[in-house]
Amino acid sequence: MSSEIVTAYQHVIDGFKYADGMTGNVLSQYLYHRLEGAADYVTNGAWKKILEKTAAKLKGKTIEAEPNLALVDEILKRTELQTDENLTELWARLLANALQGKNSVRREYFDILEKLNSYDVLVLNAAMDERYIDFLKEVKTQGHSVLIKGKILSAAYKFLKENYNLGDLDEIELSALKLSGLEVFTSESKRTAFSLTLLGRGLKKALF
């Protein structure tokens, strides 16, 4: 292996060292084998970005259970060509939690993330943010007339634009429609006022 590859590999492994003692060095041996076979992805491709994000998220964390290497391997396979900043952030969260042995990580969530684009992620992040959830609750307490519902949507759109850089209403609605089709948002989710299904709440738990 070239010195560049060794350096990149070592940078990643440094973030996982805490887990080695808990797994009898199985984790580092596995990663070495996995990354050595795809060194270009680590030094130049999507994995470099995802693994750097994952290493940062793992720093100082504790192991809840033995890392699920089957899930780790599948995440790596599904992300070897993924370079979008918003999507790599979500994949890195799942990977970090899988490496911590969290049982909230499910394969169903991998299928969902593979179908999302960058704008979908922004909408999803807003829907999962407690600030947005609390904002909708506060606005909804004002009443339930058609006029008030219109005000809710208008206020929600303003909030999304100011806090999440979501300024294109058509794109917001398209993303919300997609997320409803993936059963992450409820069918009652309309325009800028959306809510999570049981599956969506499970995904949120796996990501945070």
**How do the domains of the chain map onto residue ranges?**
3-114, 121-207
Q: For residues 208 and 192, what is the distance between their CA atoms, to the nearest angstrom? A: 23
How far is the CA of 40 from the CAs of 43, 62, 80, 145, 177, in angstroms?
5, 30, 10, 58, 37
Rounded CA separation 151/148 (Å): 5
Distance CA 37, CA 108 (A): 27
* Bridge partners, 190 (sequence order): 193
38: which 2 tokens? 């795809």
60 vs 144, more confident: 60
How would residue 180 be classed by pLDDT, with cut points 50, 70 and 90?
very high
Tokens describing residue 37:
């076979």
For the beta carbon of residue 158, count every other beta carbon within 10 angstroms: 11
For residue 60, the model assigns a pLDDT of 82
Chain segment 6-36, per-residue pLDDT in tens: 555 565 555 566 566 666 666 666 666 555 5
**In sequence order, which ranges of the chain are alpha helices (DSSP H)?**
3-23, 26-36, 39-43, 46-58, 69-79, 85-99, 107-114, 118-128, 130-140, 146-164, 169-181, 198-207
Which pLDDT does position 146 carry in this prediction?
Answer: 41
Tell me the pTM.
Answer: 0.74
Identify the residue with better confidence: 65 or 76: 76
pLDDT over 70 at 130, yes or no = yes
